[in-house]
Structure 1
Amino acid sequence: MVEIRHPDWVTIQENGKDVLGYNQEWYPEKRQKLAGCGPTAGSMMAAYIERRQQGRKVETRKEALAIMLDIWKYATPRMHGLYKTRWLKEGLTAYMQERGLKGKVEALPIPSIRLLAPKLPKVAAFIREGLEADCPIGFLNLHSGGEPIPYHWHWMPLVKMEERDDGIYCTLWDEGTAHVFNLGNWLKHTKFGGGFVRITNS
């Protein structure tokens, strides 16, 4: 099993309770609430790196929203959202460079044509290396493929991966709750693909 070492760094305190991760519903504008999943996932990745390198704490919804609004400027959703992994990769790279943060942002797109998509060992290695480098992974799910993933056409952070007898399972956070899905089954059955973005060498 491999997972981020400090889940508390991207856990928000609200009304005395722990909320896992940030929520695009916290954005102030309607378009941001509708299309803001990419910047929201990206802001958790950025906040994690900033906490480690610069000591910036994000512990309340207000503090989370501040970084979400920042990342929105760098990874602004297009007409149909942020549906290419390279857009989040480019946005995070620019944000980190401007703030003097160390790290390499990399993307692994999963095309909808299965013959062109990377195989499970390569995808699992990409995720494992990203989590071992200790940062949440941005996961773009364009179609859930029958797995218990909350939404299609949606970005979420991956925080853990584990090998079980029946496959490789990833844990994602969305709307304050953890969800677990079978990575191999997702790759096999997703109709539209998606992809992953990680930060290493940070």
Structure 2
Amino acid sequence: MKKELDYFTIEGCYGGNQDWFTNLIMHMGGCAAATACDSCIYFGLQNEKMKPLYPFNIECLTKEDYKAFSQIMKPYLKPRAGGVRKLSWFVEGLERYIQDVNEAKHTDIYIGMEEFCGDHTWQEAAIFIKEQLDQDIPVPYLLLRHQNEAYKDYIWHWFLLTGYEEKDGKMYIKTATYGESDTFELEDFWNTGCEEKGGLIRLTPHYN
């Protein structure tokens, strides 16, 4: 079984990239804001009702507009000491952004959000991820610590899951971050070996 979202590109890159941010603070710690920006762009491309979530021309995505969008998102998910290290902070920030969009543009956009903490088993995470991606919904993922050095680029980092594949009794996940995609085995990726864990966010867009 394999599933990949019809994900967007920006000037040839797979989604957005916080390395484009010229603001130093955002360049270093803007991953939560970038993940929220990418989620908004994705939903805006999926459904006409969601388009106001992206304040620029969604039919012509550019790096410059994406950088400007990140600055709009910054107050809601601003980098801070220790990072946006709680799932609830991401939920609260994105909810406030959507609320402000609704007030400014007289829309009634609603995306339900539910936290799924990293204390769950990897099998439970696999079910969660499949349920979301099978509905064409990306999955925001927060990884805090990990004992495996192979994942050093994902330490203390927010990103999106945009696909999965089940093969030979294992499940592989596709990530979107830094304008690129990677594939990892979920069991090894999820079982961090560390006490401090992140988790996932269930997004439920209401298109009607």
Which TM-score applies when normalising by structure 1? 0.83
TM superposition shift of 1:120: 2.1
1:134-191 deviation per Cα after TM superposition (whole angstroms, max 9, x unaligned): 2321111112442743331111111101211141111102222211111111222342
Q: Distance in 1 between matches of 2:205 and 2:177?
A: 26
Structure 1: gaps (5+ residues): 111-116
Q: Distance in 2 between matches of 1:190 and 1:124?
A: 18
Corresponding position of 1:180: 183
- Give the direction of change, closer, same or farther, for the CA distance of 1:128–1:24 in structure 2 (3 Å limit): same
- Give the direction of change, closer, same or farther, for the CA distance of 1:75–1:133 in structure 2 (3 Å limit): farther
> 1:16-165 residue pairs with structure 2 within 5 A?
18-51=12-45, 52=47, 53-55=49-51, 57=58, 59-99=61-101, 100-110=108-118, 117-146=119-148, 148-149=150-151, 150-165=153-168
Letter in 1 for 2:61: E
1:24–1:37: 8 Å Cα contact kept in structure 2? yes
Which aligned runs of 4 or more in structure 1 are off by greater than 6 angstroms? none
Alignment RMSD? 2.0
Structure 2: gaps (5+ residues): 102-107
- Give the direction of change, closer, same or farther, for the CA distance of 1:133–1:74 in structure 2 (3 Å limit): farther
TM superposition shift of 1:129: 2.2
Corresponding position of 1:196: 200
Q: How many residues align?
A: 189
TM superposition shift of 1:195: 1.0
1:133–1:201: 8 Å Cα contact kept in structure 2? no
Which TM-score applies when normalising by structure 2? 0.81
Letter in 1 for 2:115: A
Identity %: 26
Corresponding position of 1:2: 3
Q: Distance in 1 between matches of 2:70 and 2:137?
A: 17
1:45–1:135: 8 Å Cα contact kept in structure 2? no
- Give the direction of change, closer, same or farther, for the CA distance of 1:155–1:130 in structure 2 (3 Å limit): same
